[in-house]
Structure 1
């Protein structure tokens, strides 16, 4: 189907002429391929999938109409700011269903974002953790030493974990499953404009999502779920976990 869009042969008396693919289309396709290989399947994993297959897979995940085309709804959703963790489906877990075995769970704050009061950041992160303790037996306790079950850090660019940040917009944060090496590490892109309101990026909303990963939850297809991969502002005063989130976390704890 892509041949009709991308390759059109015009017969002339003495030659074959191939029109140049518009740069905007090339850029959109390149962006999609990079996105798909970063968040769904690598080039090696998807080498036997056609571009149409990849588009339909992504559209199915995001519950879009499965056109197999890089249409406007698809372009819009892959351009939205999001979490840097790869996608799966429904409420989901990491392979082997790892979880934090300690209770209370300890957390530490390695550094702070620019432009936010430290006490405000501490309050936000505490409230984000309490969202998960409100529906499980888990308790959270802040510690002031480097090693803890969960570590919050604000980092920029290439910061040594093979998942570099890309500046303002796009990838906002990422977190690691509760397994050895990077257990419980939660990294926020320091170049974002973090806030407690609807200006910039709401730290509370992103922190709740990333704590979910640190506890063992993967991404969800449910757009009402805090574990949906794309960022969606919600007023912290009225925030509630979805049924999908509650079922998922209670399946682990």
Structure 2
């Protein structure tokens, strides 16, 4: 009898080994699709002015967070009525992201709104930084009139001419695996600007500080969990850059994860004084999809050179 039972036990043990998840793979490859902080938007497909639909108040909060919406009273901001103000905000969003401005929550709009993005707003105090602006660039002795797609923070804050060497440090909450990708991002900006960058020790003062946070952490909009706001950074000369610790991060292109270096390139652009660009291929475009990697684009380089008169 024992000899008959032994093969059965061996077989079951083999099946268990084959089906058991690998502990090594858990850390490097995301397991399963996680719910995104922006997934509520998918339930609003087809909504338009005149509708009263559960969840519209969340859409209002989303658009308010990124600068598209401001209601005169709290009641309107927290109800589920699709009113004229919301329709106008959606049309502006659609224009910014090159979607037909219908004011309707169509498939293209939902796809764009649910894409993870940077936490820096597109519109501040009524100024829409996603719309192209006319600028006069000098080429030799002649002024050249061009339309630019990059943008700067209000008042065009930047590092002073005497401050071209910037130091950066990592807070203790930064995973060691993130440090080299961030360093590479700094080197890419260094190769395209007049800035040089060097890492300072954790306990030393520095011009720039990188950290990982969850939820609310002070004087900037809180992070919202996986798949929503990925990171944010401050304009010069504040120097702070925060990753959302709730996201799945990776080195390079990994499905359902976000590349440390690509996001760092974007946020360093903010640290140097760039806002968002309306060029989708630019690193300063506000959104990034999981598994996507990007590099500096000519629009990013033109923007930083314009800001610093390089």
Q: TM-score, normalised by structure 2?
A: 0.67
Partner of 2:209: 151
Whether 1:244 and 2:299 are equivalent positions in the alignment is yes
Whether 1:85 and 2:85 are equivalent positions in the alignment is no
Gaps of 5+ in 2: 1-47, 77-82, 123-128, 131-148
Larger Rg: 2
Stretch deviating more after TM superposition (82-91 or 35-44):
35-44
| Distance of 1:195 and 1:107 partners within structure 2 | 21
Task: Pick the aligned partner of 1:43 from 40, 64, 70.
Answer: 70
Alpha-carbon distance, 1:60 to partner: 0.4
Q: Which has the higher contact order (CA 8 A, sep 6+)?
A: 1
Partner of 1:103: 164
| Distance of 1:173 and 1:34 partners within structure 2 | 18
RMSD over equivalenced CA pairs, Å: 2.2
Partner of 1:185: 240
| Distance of 2:242 and 2:253 partners within structure 1 | 21
| Distance of 1:31 and 1:74 partners within structure 2 | 15
Partner of 1:210: 267
| Distance of 1:165 and 1:240 partners within structure 2 | 25
Alpha-carbon distance, 1:83 to partner: 0.5
Alpha-carbon distance, 1:216 to partner: 0.4
Runs of 4+ deviating beyond 3 Å: 44-49, 232-235
Gaps of 5+ in 1: 7-20
Partner of 1:198: 253
| Distance of 2:84 and 2:192 partners within structure 1 | 40
Q: TM-score, normalised by structure 1?
A: 0.81
The 1:130/1:167 distance shift into structure 2, 3 A limit, reads same
Partner of 1:31: 58
Q: How many residues align?
A: 223
